[in-house]
Amino acid sequence: MSNIRPPAPVAGPSNKRPSKPPVVQPGSGNNIIINPCQRLNPILEAVRNVGKEFGEIKADFQVGRTTGVLFLSLRYHRLHPEYIHQRIEALGHSYNLRVLLLMCDITEHQEHIRELTKICIINNITIVVAWSPDEAGQYLTTYKQFEHKPPNLIRERVERAPAALMRNALTSISKVNKTDVETLRTSFGSMAAIARASTDQLSQLPGFGPKKVARMKDAFERPFRNYATSALDFPVLPRSQDRAPAKGKEKETLRGAGEDDAEERAAAARRPRTRTRACASRHEWGWEEARGEPGVGY
């Protein structure tokens, strides 16, 4: 009897629901970390050329070690306006760069974008508006690909050569192009000589008509400050001996001023004290106790 074993279970169809993919902790620095709540977001299909993995993070997407992205659809925001406030409060200051990726999927979007922009400014969040899932996915991909890139690709390139500085300065004058700059440089040689050139000398150059010459002369001869050549009018004060009153009159003036002040103080004490409307409104809204305006949404 002791050697009898129970029959093995018969394999059959299982009624259990398929389990969700396991959520892993973010460990790789080469992948975009995705919050499990964004598992069915259609923009994930547009995230290409970078790795993706799910992990328990406070943001919706972590595109860098110090960069977190919150995703918000305007259609969802119109139905649940309190959602974004709760997410921002939960996010706190977890990332150095916090981004709100906004999906514009409604027609009347101007007022909602204006409202969310104010919220982002107050909470020090960068707002990025996407008009399609592909564009939103491209933003996430670009953030991840440029995580360790230097800012040289988007930084303005400023040339330090004298010829480049002259070209930038002269082309800032209306109607003056790069060809005109080369003509001026070969004709006069230096910026100082160009600034001292007369109207007749400029008119003899090819491509310089009356309007262009007038604009150049105006740029070099106009004062840096408006009305720079006009004298400033200062009030002329009387001399000390002219405005000093006599000793007898000075005593009378001081005595009269003291009596007037005493009468005004007595009249003010007899008047009933009333609270102004501004003070009442501050007390009513609790600004005196809070010592500042309340935060937006929380």
Q: Residue 49: which CATH number? A: 3.40.50.10130
* pLDDT in the model for residue 148: 86
pLDDT digit string (tens) for 191-230?
A: 999 999 999 999 999 999 999 999 999 999 888 776 555 5
Do 97 and 67 share a structural domain? yes
Instruction: Indicate whether 278 belongs to any domain.
Output: no
Range of the domain at 204: 162-221
The whole-angstrom separation of Cα 125 and Cα 95 is: 10
Tell me the per-residue pLDDT of 115-169, one tens digit each, with 9 for 90 and over.
999 999 999 999 999 999 999 999 999 999 888 888 887 787 777 888 888 999 9
- The residue among 199, 221, 243 that closes a domain is 221
> Is 90 exceeded by the pLDDT of residue 252?
no
| pTM value surpassing 0.85 | no
Question: Do 41 and 138 reside in the same domain of the chain?
Answer: yes
Beta-carbon contacts of residue 153 (< 8 Å; ≥ 6 apart): 146
Question: Is position 212 within any domain?
Answer: yes
In a domain, 200, yes or no: yes
pLDDT tens digit sequence for 41-98? 999 999 998 889 999 999 999 998 889 999 999 999 999 999 999 999 999 888 999 9
Q: What is the CATH number of the domain that holds 193?
A: 1.10.150.20
Give the model's pLDDT for residue 298: 33
Over residues 11-22, mean pLDDT:
48
Mean pLDDT of the chain: 77
Query: What stretches of the chain show up as alpha helix (H) in DSSP?
Result: 74-79, 83-91, 110-122, 133-145, 162-171, 178-188, 191-196, 199-203, 210-221, 240-243, 247-270, 277-285, 287-290
**Is residue 12, in this structure, part of any structural domain at all?**
no
Q: Are residues 135 and 193 in the same domain?
A: no
Does any domain span residue 281? no
List beta partners, residue 62. 33, 68
CB 219 within 8 Å of CB 173: yes
- 180: in domain: yes
- Of 21, 101, 92, nearest to 57 by C-alpha is 92
**Overall number of domains in the chain:** 2
Q: Which residues pair with 69 in a beta bridge?
A: 61, 99
Q: Is residue 35 part of a domain?
A: yes
